[in-house]
Amino acid sequence: MIKMKKINKIYGTGASKVEALKNIDLEVKENEFVGLIGPSGSGKSTLMNIIGCLDVPSSGEYYFGGESVENFNHNQLAEIRNEKIGFVFQNFNLLPYATAYENVEIPMIFMGVKAKKRKSMALELLDSVGLAARATHKPGELSGGEMQRVALARALANNPSLILADEPTGNLDTKSGDEILAIFENLWKQGHTLVVITHNPNISARAQRIVKLIDGTIENNGK
Amino acid sequence: MKILYLFRLFYRELKTQEKRITLTIVALAWGTFSIVVLLSFGEGLNRQMMKSLHGLGEGICIVYGGQTSKPYKGLGKGRVIRLQEDDVELLKRRISGIGLISPENDRYRNNMTYGRKSLSERVIGVYPPFEDLRGYFPQRNGRFINDLDIKNKKRVVFLGTELKKRLFGEEEAVGKRILINRIPFLVIGVMMEKMQNSMYSGPDVDKAAIPFSTFQTIYGDKYLNRLIYKPKDISQSEIVKNDVYKLLSQKYKFDPTDKQALNFWDMIEEEKIMRNIFLGIEIFMGIIGGLTLVVAGVGVANIMYVSGKRRTKEIGIKMALGAKKRHVLLQFISEALIIAIIGGTAGLLLSFIVVELFKVLPLEGDAADILAHPVMSLKIMLLTAIILGVVGFLAGVFPARRAASSNPVEALRYE
Ligand SMILES: Nc1ncnc2c1ncn2[C@@H]1O[C@H](COP(=O)(O)OP(=O)(O)OP(=O)(O)O)[C@@H](O)[C@H]1O
Ligand SMILES: [Mg+2]
């Protein structure tokens, strides 16, 4: 599914230079469930952004579905993000002025799904994460766990093969966390590939493989 | 379908970002409004001043007698030169550049009676061309003095607007008889209202005009008080003036270079000066309008820029979810366009209403002259609305374009 060779990411220059990622080699196969762990500031989110084609590495090679990402232009990257990747952000990144179902609709808008179908699919997705009753609420009117589930429903909107989640249970209590975990396991069973950043031992225990980042390097590749 | 969708999106934005969008529209409308109204009243004032300048007559020249200041052909200086009625014929015949010409003599304090009302008023004796020369235009049902009146020395009178009001009030005057120094006169016309800011021997609206021949049978003046002509072609006025001077110098035997033998009041000269003043005012208004436009432009641009910038995060989210550059731009462009159109139209509409309102406002006197005649210029209206619209549009789209061209993470990091 994805393959990385000698990926480096450097932020800033001179005195404020930060080497967030150093010589990362990583491969994730179809239908793998990878847990990404490591202390705060170790570069987990940075790596996730590169995997999700939201950012580009400073150097190194990144292949997505066998193709070098370097060869893709702005629009092709947008298409990959739209069709192949579902991203659940650490801080949700929901549009504050749109309702839950409108948020879930967004990826489908750019896919070109017709309005009517879009709405019914969005409601279906919200139902699958147990939020049918909150469809017309705005993010400000939802709890942290509910927002997290809206974000998850949105990530699933175009049925992407790769699902990336940055601390999906970080702000949740154990019960809500377990619900999210159940959804992930279900997705995995359906054949999706999952990369999940987590501090939650329940999730890392279920993952097929754990990748541990320390100071921008992978310490342990394989369970 | 696509358009409908954009409007739906905009409507959703409007619902959710009401304040921002309303503020932008108000700023745009207000900017457009202030400039259009400012320039409308400026232009109205300018035209009003031009019109009242012409109240005395457009492009006319008034000739008075004088006193020689140079000896000429054995005649001493200090001789008084006075114009006579046959000068009119002479000038008309010999100087082809003269278009209209008329003598004018006047008398103050004539007893004027209608019914029980008795007043003491001014009377002038003139030729028919005086109507066009000096703007003595009759109201609808009347007429000015004509050639037949002159020929038959008719006792007819043309009344100034105010004089008619004093004598008749609201009553119809045309066709009625009045007494001027106990002699009956038939009222043939009443002057249309006019504005006049330069005058001699009082405003025209206070005078009564009678045929010059009739005037002479009553008063028998030997000399003319003055003589008024208008060149056929105003651009030739200097040449005509010289011709008049030369011809009269031959007749009255004075040195043609003697500047004091005759006196000229040349409206053409005066107009040239006034035109420069008007031009000055227009430039001044233009500068103020331009500065207001800049201020409004900066205001609109600022609001649009800030709100465009504020939405960087939103753009980041959409891009992360697969929005292409054109998706983002299309949304922002259509939004900015709708805002620009609504704001500009609202501003134009508002100025239109205010300007029309001032036109029907029951203002009196000087304030009315200045305020009640604003003139809207379509060119200025469109130019202002378009400039502000384009400025706001660019300022709104620019940050969106930047955000849409960067990495999604960079846009996402914006708070
Ligand atoms: N835009 C940026 N500019 C400069 N430095 C950055 C930027 N983004 C991240 N960093 C730095 O890169 C390092 C890795 O950051 P990253 O966000 O990937 O950490 P993380 O592992 O996700 O941490 P956490 O568990 O707290 O989310 C940190 O030292 C951070 O300060
Ligand atoms: Mg992180």
H or E segment to which residue B256 belongs: none
Instruction: Tabulate helix, strand, coil % of chain A (nearest 5).
Output: 40, 25, 35
What is the token pair recorded at A63?
């292949």
> For chain B, what are the domain ranges?
2-54+272-413, 61-267
Beta strand B207-211 with B183-190 is unpaired
Q: Which of B125, B122, B96 is nearest to B109 (CA)?
A: B122
* DSSP one-letter code for B191: B
ipTM: 0.92
pLDDT value of position B269: 78
- Subunit contact A95:B412, Cβ cutoff 8 A: no
Amino acid identity, residue B58? E
Q: Helices (DSSP H) in chain A: which residue ranges?
A: 44-51, 74-83, 100-111, 115-128, 144-155, 174-189, 201-206
B17·A97 Cβ contact <8 A:
yes
Please list the ranges in chain A whose pLDDT falls under 50.
222-223
pLDDT value, residue B63? 94
| Ligand in closest contact with the CA of A9 | 1
| Cβ contact, residue pair B412, A54, below 8 Å | yes
| Angstrom distance (rounded) from CA A87 to CA A151 | 8
pLDDT for B221: 93
- Please tell me if the CB atom of residue A39 comes closer than 6 angstroms to any atom of ligand 1: no
Q: How far is the CA of B304 from the centre of ligand 1 (A)?
A: 32
pLDDT at A77: 92
How is the beta sheet containing A18-28 ordered, strand by strand? A18-28, A2-11, A59-64, A67-68
Interface of B with A (CB under 8 A): 5, 12-13, 16-17, 313-314, 316-325, 327, 405, 407-409, 412
Q: Report the nearest atom of ligand 1 relative to the CA of A11.
A: 4
Spell B88-103 as b/e; 16+ CB within 10 A means b. beebeeebebbbbbbb
Low-confidence stretches of chain B (pLDDT < 70) are 1-17, 363-372
The pLDDT value given to residue B1: 45
- What pairing do the DSSP bridges indicate for beta strands A33-37 and A209-214? parallel
The 10 Å CB-count burial string (b at 16+, else e) for B383-393 is bbbebbbebbb
Quote the pLDDT of residue A98.
86
